[in-house]
Amino acid sequence: NAGVTQTPKFQVLKTGQSMTLQCAQDMNHEYMSWYRQDPGMGLRLIHYSVGAGITDQGEVPNGYNVSRSTTEDFPLRLLSAAPSQTSVYFCASRAIVGYIEQFFGPGTRLTVL
């Protein structure tokens, strides 16, 4: 099992550009989520999904879109990047019944100039 994979590992964008951060998991987990990590603020939930076709907002959803067309993939889209979106982004997945440990991807470090 590859677990949770994220691409790219690093990205630099200019203000106003758009891009998609990719996330995939091969554990057949129903729940997937995106977090951003900023100094002194821990992990803040952006969006999450409890299954294909179902998404919902977390604590800091503004400026981000998500979709979940398959169980495996949960891409995060930045439609018009802003410097305030400079952060490290983590994708995570977990089962929603049984053993509920959440697994994290390796992270994407995004800089918006």
Q: How far is the CB of 2 from other proteins (least distance, A)?
A: 13
Instruction: Rank residues 85 and 93 by Cβ distance to other proteins and give the closer one.
Output: 93
According to the binding rule CB under 8 A, does residue 40 interact with other proteins? yes
Q: What would you measure as the largest C-alpha separation in the chain, in angstroms?
A: 43
Instruction: Rank residues 14 and 97 by Cβ distance to other proteins and give the closer one.
Output: 97
50 within 8 A of 31, measured Cβ to Cβ: yes
According to the binding rule CB under 8 A, does residue 71 interact with other proteins? no
Q: How far is the CB of 77 from other proteins (least distance, A)?
A: 20
Task: Report which residue type is found at 106.
Answer: P
Where residue 59 falls (left for φ over 0; alpha for ψ -120 to 50; beta otherwise) is alpha
Instruction: Rank residues 2 and 100 by Cβ distance to other proteins and give the closer one.
Output: 100
Instruction: Rank residues 58 and 63 by Cβ distance to other proteins and give the closer one.
Output: 58
Distance CA 56, CA 112 (A): 25
Where residue 83 falls (left for φ over 0; alpha for ψ -120 to 50; beta otherwise) is alpha
Residue ranges that bind other proteins, judged by CB under 8 A = 31, 33, 35, 40-45, 48, 50, 58-59, 90, 92, 94, 96, 99-107
